[in-house]
Amino acid sequence: QVQLVESGGGLVQAGGSLRLSCAASGSIASITLMGWYRQAPGKQRELVATIFSDGRTNYGNSVKCRFTISRDNVKNTVYLQMNSLKPEDTAIYYCAAIRSWGTDWGQGTQVTVSS
């Protein structure tokens, strides 16, 4: 039982930046890692980034070197700093709380990058 609330999505021009936030509540201790995934029209959901409680991170190939994931363990919040945004980054971005037995998802936040 983990509830996730994303915020920070919106419309931005190519080359711009956005910072997404995901606040987690509930069974925080059960979370193995937090992450961001995205799904664009006509495409499958793909990994953006994940982060363990100790700060170790993993990035999808399409966003590495442009996006940065971080977390505040006191606030139980994970962030995604997105820089140098491209039109192909347009998607619904979902926050995920990943446990050994499954994953809880947020409602998603729309990110649209105009050319």
What does the pLDDT look like over 23-38, one tens digit per residue? 999 988 877 899 999 9
Extract the tokens encoding 115.
């050319």
- Res 1: pLDDT: 79
- Res 100: pLDDT: 85
Helical (H) or strand (E) element with 10: strand 10-13
pLDDT greater at residue 100 or residue 59: 59
Extract the tokens encoding 15.
């080359």
Instruction: Provide the 8-state DSSP code for 115.
Output: -
3-state secondary structure of 28: helix
101, 41 contact by CB (below 8 A): no
- Res 53: pLDDT: 84
How does residue 19 score in pLDDT terms, banded at 50, 70 and 90?
very high
Please count the residues of the chain. 115
Instruction: Provide the 8-state DSSP code for 8.
Output: -
